[in-house]
Structure 1
Amino acid sequence: MNAPPPGRRLEPDARRAEILDAALRIYADRPYADVSTSELAREAGVARGLLNHYFGTKRELYLTALRILLTIPEEAAADLPGHTRTERVGAAVDWFLDTVAARRGLWLTVGVGGVGVGGVGVAGAGGDPEVDRVVEDADETAADRVITALVPGHDPAADPAADVVLRARVRAYFGLVRAASREWLVRGSLDRAGVRDLLVTTLVALLPSPEDR
């Protein structure tokens, strides 16, 4: 891991982003409980007090890093390549799998029901409430962006009941995403190509076809 040289003067937004990048690098390989605030500050090339200034606590920094990991960036959803829906879904799934591979450790702690901030499995009963909220918020945002990117012309106001069902289907799909990731990363029962095929085929099938709208 390459920490930035200490002592550089950065604008607040740039410094905050740099600290977040450092947290994502460390948590990609190590669980929350094994990482100290001092290590995070050292990786970011800042004093511990500056880390606390921007994020308050190690926990809040971790939760912010989770939001970044679990939230599909608007630009990633808006700029999907491909002419057909299947091609665009494939591009979205490829983006997700690349992200998971790069942040494997952090994804395993939350994305597939591993150990959350409080040491309790997030995907099961009794998960950390704040982590649960991060996951739920990320699912809502992702549902919005998936529908916007892959169901062009969708108008929630035109048929509110159908919109509720569509959003529920997409959110349920994210449960499959997490389960498939577990089969790939933890059990080794699926390889990346198998996960990709499963996720692409399922998402294409659950989205409404143009003639349905």
Structure 2
Amino acid sequence: MNRSQQGAAARPRVRGTERSAARRAELIAIGRKLFADTSYDALSMDDIARQAHVAKGLIYYYFQSKRGYYLAIIQDSVAGLVTHAASGLDLPAVDRVQRTIDSYLRYAEHHQAAYRTIVSGGVGFDAEVHAIRDGVREAIVAAIAEGAYGRRDIAPLARMGLLAWVCSVEGATLDWIDHPGLSHETMRALLVKTLGGALRAIEELDPAYPAPAAARRQA
């Protein structure tokens, strides 16, 4: 087989791979909306297939099981959120913290189904799902720590202070996208100020972690 024949044979495989990836991404997008509105236990594979307008076998083909499907949705959503929230590493520290909060809110605002799936998917206790969600929290804590302290490896007290703030942000952001009474700018300013309070509390309890000057000015 000459080179032109080899290339012609490869092109259909490439197109087939692209179609397969696009189909998988489409099913994940559909699943985000389904699981955002309905709990995991309340949706059967028949329900999912009917609402997605696909054969049930297609979902099994790509994801093997309902749990595999759900985990793929969680992982895909998490990747998008972490990428948005951790952007702006080239900015000064204070600007980086504000960019992290702004990007986090923007993701939740424009990808509401994905955000709800990450924060409150409703699968009950599932160690693997919880580990994925814990990974999101740790990634956000690390991004804030790098912006506030210039490093990601921080002491337990500082980590717990930032983690408590992140957990409060999750609940507040869920309520904000469900009841959009505040503008994006106001919500961002509110979260920046509450973060300043958390950073000042961390400094008070552990002076080795001084709050950035901008956080002190908020006091």
Normalising by the smaller structure, the TM-score range is 0.5 to 0.7
Match of 2:188 in 1: 196
Match of 1:54 in 2: 62
Q: How does 1:1-213 map to 2 (within 5 A)?
A: 9-11=16-18, 16-27=24-35, 30-32=37-39, 33=42, 36-39=47-50, 42=53, 47-70=55-78, 75-80=83-88, 83-108=91-116, 111=119, 116-118=122-124, 130-148=128-146, 150-151=147-148, 153-154=150-151, 156=153, 162-186=154-178, 190-207=182-199, 208-209=210-211
The alignment's TM-score, normalised by the length of structure 1, stands at 0.63
1:177 Cα deviation from its structure 2 partner: 0.5
The worse-fitting range, judged by mean Cα deviation, of 165-174 and 137-146 is 137-146
CA distance in 1, matches of 2:169, 2:117: 15
CA distance in 2, matches of 1:155, 1:91: 17
Structure 2 residue identity aligned to 1:38: A
Structure 2 residue identity aligned to 1:31: T
Structure 2 residue identity aligned to 1:68: D
Unaligned runs of 5+ in 2: 1-14, 200-209, 214-219
CA root-mean-square deviation? 3.7
Match of 1:121 in 2: none
> How many equivalent pairs are there?
184
CA distance in 1, matches of 2:196, 2:95: 10
**Contact map agreement 1:67 1:134 (CA 8 A) in 2:** yes
The worse-fitting range, judged by mean Cα deviation, of 87-96 and 185-194 is 185-194
Please list the CA deviations of residues 185-210 of structure 1 after superposition, one character each: whole Å capped at 9, or x if unmatched: 34556443332112122334545446
Structure 2 residue identity aligned to 1:137: G
Structure 2 residue identity aligned to 1:200: V
Query: Structure 1 pair 67/173, CA: closer, same or farther in 2 (3 Å)?
Result: farther
Query: Structure 1 pair 25/87, CA: closer, same or farther in 2 (3 Å)?
Result: same
Match of 2:217 in 1: none
CA distance in 2, matches of 1:49, 1:25: 20
1:139 Cα deviation from its structure 2 partner: 1.5
CA distance in 1, matches of 2:181, 2:152: 39
Query: Which structure has the larger Rg?
Result: 2
1:96 Cα deviation from its structure 2 partner: 1.4
Q: Which structure shows the bigger proportion of residues in helix conformation?
A: 2
Query: Structure 1 pair 100/147, CA: closer, same or farther in 2 (3 Å)?
Result: same
Query: Structure 1 pair 133/81, CA: closer, same or farther in 2 (3 Å)?
Result: closer
1:88 Cα deviation from its structure 2 partner: 2.2
CA distance in 2, matches of 1:14, 1:186: 30
1:133 Cα deviation from its structure 2 partner: 3.4
CA distance in 2, matches of 1:37, 1:174: 32
**Contact map agreement 1:77 1:92 (CA 8 A) in 2:** yes
Match of 2:6 in 1: none
